[in-house]
Chain A
Amino acid sequence: MSVRRTLSIARRTFRELRNDKRTLALMFVAPVIAMFVFGIAFSGDVRDVRVVVVNDDKGFRDPGTNITVSISKDIISNLKDDILTLEYVEDVEDGIHRVENGEAYGVIIFPKHFTRDLYKRIRNPSFLKNAIIKVKLDKSNVNVANAIIKNVSDAVIETMRKAGSESPIILDTDNPIYGENAEFMDFFVPGIMSYVVFFLTALLTLITFVGERTSGNLERLLSTPLKEAEIVFGYAIAFSIIGTLQTIILLAIGITVFNIMIVGNIILAFVVIALLAIVSLSLGILLSSLAKREAQAIQFLPFIVLPTFLLAGIFWPLEAIPSWIRPASYLIPPTYSVNACRSVMLRGWGLEKIWTDIAALVGFASVFLIAAIWSLKRKA
């Protein structure tokens, strides 16, 4: 192994990038766009959600004052109209029908004796019947569902606070609330770092390497004293540096724009991402040996993108993945880097606790590097 020759390959990659503004932009603008698009799309900053209200509440005539009051109307008036767009229907079936047709995301149902039960309950704690608000949700979009539930419960709390009373109202939702939206970006940034670096590194090495092969440049390189391993390590140096730079950009935006928290030692996260970049570029080189043209190479990309997107725990935790398919998650290298970066950034864990993830990444990197070198050594 010659360090000089290895570095000459790494340097060439940077020189090429400097002269090729389009690819340079892809490498450094795409991560930023990905972060904003995914970040905003998933962050749960939900607005203008159509919701149907069925108010069967007859109100309650206070025997003392002889005034009829309706707590349901108070609660409805406390719903935020910039987040929920309300629509009233008479019939529960009608409301559910609208959700089924995709015209609304949920039905809020106040039963006939809502106010009465509430009054009785407040005056006489031994009265056993609870005042219940039923919320029937379209669960296909967790963020929207959460936004509705949060809004209704906020309105309930607000109403009862004004009335000067603790809330005995029960929100009946068949959907549990999970994850506080405010913390989504904290959870998300360590994931998107891995996703962007893994995907872009594989994409760029795959395309570059198919180019090296079809242009004859690879053969020309191999007609010199340059060794296959030196080519692969040259690429590894270049792409781990590029991966680290991409991570720095994502973190800078995460901190300044999205206010994410970083508890642990960020250098550890850089090491993890650099390892992931090496895994990814080896994969790119390996796949390039299967493709005869660049267009063919592009066809391999879904195999890299989709499993990572769905199974690596970037957008939702591994716990939210069906258990029968979870073993597949552990075959995907980004799973480990996502987990390690989250542990470092959110829990402040150190090397002593994330070493299993790092060991897994080192394992993947070694196997893939050796396979990549072997694929270059194979001769017709």
Chain B
Amino acid sequence: MESLPYAIETVNLTKRYGIFTALSRLNLRVEKSVVYGLLGPNGAGKTTLIKLLLGLLKPTEGDAYVLGERMPDKDILSEVGYMPQDTALYLNLTVRQNIELYGEIFGLSKKRITERTEELLGFINLEKWKDELVSNLSGGMKHRVSLACSMVHSPQLLLLDEPTVGIDPELRASFWDYFGLIKEKGVTILLTTHYMDEAARCDKVGLLRQGNLIAEGTPEEIIRISNTKSLEEAFLIFAKRNART
């Protein structure tokens, strides 16, 4: 498995809801040990793609491969961490209990769960709040707990759906430092974002629009091909060009 070049590969992956096509014949390849940024307007199909990768949705056509396994595959999910777009947490559990729950589900030892929980509490900067019920946290704090839950088992692949929404700039910067750090250790990260400065920090970005991947490349490549000065302008140009065709 280690020798396989791609962390994620989709082949003609298609998802339709009735006659509406949310994702159209997507062929995506994400190499290992990169940070891949998925961009696109609301309703472009970003969340749909992530759920298809996890086997939470059934593709209408095509296939998705995660870490070399064809989805759906329950076993490979032990190597995947998922942070949903909505802060899916148990409000009646404390911060620590939420993180520990996922440690238990992923089958970590008691000792390892305690270690990882301490580490992650430091990373999301919520040590002081660890015994507080999640229902008493602010929106951004909940988001941070949610991120920690998706990383407790040190997965090889992280699928993060808008991980930095509502997070203050200081913490956002430290998240990105951390993403860079775990990437160096071989972790692959696919994340969605609406922030251009974050897109610029990705190794590779893909622009999704109405279920189609309309542009892909390193941030520099995207800027170069579109003959613009910034990613933001580049994406506007791609969107216009795509709307015409």
Contact = CB atoms under 8 A, between A and B. Distances in A.
A123 interface: no
A101 interface: no
B107 interface: yes
B86 A5 contact: no
Contacts of B17: 380
Interface in B27-64: 51, 54, 56-58
A28 to B, nearest CB: 16
B88 interface: yes
Interface in A14-41: 15-17, 19-20
B77 A224 contact: yes
Nearest to A22: B92
A139 interface: no
A223 B104 contact: no
B163 interface: no
A223 B54 contact: yes
B83 to A, nearest CB: 9
Interface in B76-99: 77-78, 80, 82, 84-94, 97
A9 B105 CA distance: 8
Contacts of B93: 12, 15-16, 19
A43 B57 CA distance: 55
Task: Please tell me the size bucket of the interface on B.
Answer: 20 to 34
B89 to A, nearest CB: 7
Interface string A199-227: 00000000000000001110111111111
A224 B104 CA distance: 11
A226 B91 CA distance: 20
A64 to B, nearest CB: 86
Nearest to B76: A225
A217 B92 CA distance: 13
Nearest to A219: B56
A219 B74 contact: no
Interface string B136-159: 000000000000010000000000
B74 A227 contact: yes
A225 B78 contact: yes
A118 B80 CA distance: 94
Interface string A58-78: 000000000000000000000
Interface of A: 2, 4-5, 8-9, 11-12, 15-17, 19-20, 215-217, 219-227, 379-380
Interface of B: 17, 51, 54, 56-58, 74-75, 77-78, 80, 82, 84-94, 97, 101-102, 104-107, 133, 149
11 contacts: A12-B93, A216-B86, A217-B89, A219-B51, A220-B82, A220-B84, A223-B54, A224-B106, A225-B75, A379-B56, A380-B57
